[in-house]
Chains A and B, each alone.
Chain A
Amino acid sequence: AQSVTQLGSHVSVSEGALVLLRCNYSSSVPPYLFWYVQYPNQGLQLLLKYTSAATLVKGINGFEAEFKKSETSFHLTKPSAHMSDAAEYFCAVRGGGATNKLIFGTGTLLAVQP
């Protein structure tokens, strides 16, 4: 069965600092992995996805993530945090079977300090 684990429910960084949000996955098949962002009182917006092509995936708003099979990780990074990055971030793995449902992690709330 597929699952994801997000380490750190709350992360706080200073504006301009590196953002690193951690996600580890478990999957019995080659995984499809996703990062979604949820701004306050809004829905889920796709940041980026890994679908077995390049291991370094670039997404929107300057975010990127690297798929590391040896570490079963898919950590999200951004070189320089902006105040507008404050949001909740969810890592997800595509579930098995034909439905391709998403299995989400518990989320990481990112705070950006001025």
Chain B
Amino acid sequence: EPEVTQTPSHQVTQMGQEVILRCVPISNHLYFYWYRQILGQKVEFLVSFYNNEISEKSEIFDDQFSVERPDGSNFTLKIRSTKLEDSAMYFCASREGAVSEQFFGPGTRLTVL
């Protein structure tokens, strides 16, 4: 069964460093998302991406964040200068069409020291 994959599963970084979180969505999906879950809190929407551009972003998704689909299969989330409060589990999701469900990856746990 096709699935969304994410790498790495766990990333530890120093405050101020750049990180890139990678996702491979399901191959025929067209809509891509990043969500995050701070420990003990609810899952929050960060950004959606369709047709090679951001279609919606939340207030959390400030200038330190960017997304890219560099090669038609990967979907990346970059944090330019990490802060302590960026420590969270980051989930990638994708969906095929307008009314289909979202499929989530296993997440990347980001720890900023």
A contacts, CB < 8 Å to B = 32, 34, 36, 42-46, 49, 51, 90, 92, 95, 97-107
Q: Interface range on chain B: under 10, 10 to 19, 20 to 34, or 35 or more?
A: 20 to 34
User: Shortest CB–CB separation between residue A102 and chain B, in angstroms?
Assistant: 6
Cα A103 to Cα B55 in complex, Å, equals 16
Q: Which of B11-19, B38-46, B68-76, B80-88 contacts A (4 or more CB under 8 A)?
A: B38-46
Do A101 and B104 touch across chains, with their CB atoms under 8 A apart?
no
Interface of A, secondary structure class, is loop
Do A102 and B102 touch across chains, with their CB atoms under 8 A apart?
yes
B contacts, CB < 8 Å to A = 31, 33, 35, 41-45, 48, 50, 55-56, 91, 93, 95, 98-99, 101-107
**Do A99 and B48 contact each other (CB < 8 Å), given the known contacts A44-B91, A90-B42?**
yes
* Identity of the chain B residue whose Cβ is nearest the Cβ of A46 in the assembled complex: B101
Contacts of A107 in B (CB 8 A): 42-43
* Identity of the chain B residue whose Cβ is nearest the Cβ of A43 in the assembled complex: B106
